[in-house]
Amino acid sequence: MTYEESLEFNFQALELPADAVQWLLDLWHVIQVLDDVADGDSVDRKSLDKAIFATLAGMPSNSFYQKHQAWLLPILAQSVLKWMASDAAERAGKADERSYMWRAGYYDVVMMVTCLVHGPSSEKCFEALAMYGETAEDYLKEFKNA
């Protein structure tokens, strides 16, 4: 099972509607492509084309996003800023437990989507955060070995 398939499975377990699942999967794909570009990793043309379409047409036209963009846009901005902060710390050789937390901003977005669907006191909101699988220990090993 690919990571995207695993995400889709977990989003369905969170009982998210299909348009919310699609928006979150598109966002994940775009993040991965942009992170690869930022790291100088190779991106195949099919993945790049998919990310370009998702960014410019798919995500903005998604019905879940359109209905909830007043909530989603600020959390997206915050997630980007957290990623930028973690990336800056990592590149400066200062990766630590804080930059590990910043790196997981995507799951803040997942939690907000889940909250918009189920309400803020739903257990599913907290299950969304628990989806983040990387441990702080593994993260710190990655940057101590770099």
Cβ(54)–Cβ(94) below 8 Å: no
User: Above 60 in pLDDT, residue 146?
Assistant: no
Report which of 119, 52, 105 is spatially closest to residue 77, judged by C-alpha positions.
Answer: 105
Can you tell me the mean pLDDT for 16-45? 94
% pLDDT > 90, the chain: 69
User: Distances in Å between the alpha carbon of 54 and those of 30, 78, 81, 126?
Assistant: 7, 20, 20, 27
Model confidence band, residue 39 (pLDDT cutoffs 50, 70, 90): confident
Query: Chain centroid to CA 28: how far?
Result: 5
Cβ(30)–Cβ(54) below 8 Å: yes
Average pLDDT, the chain: 92
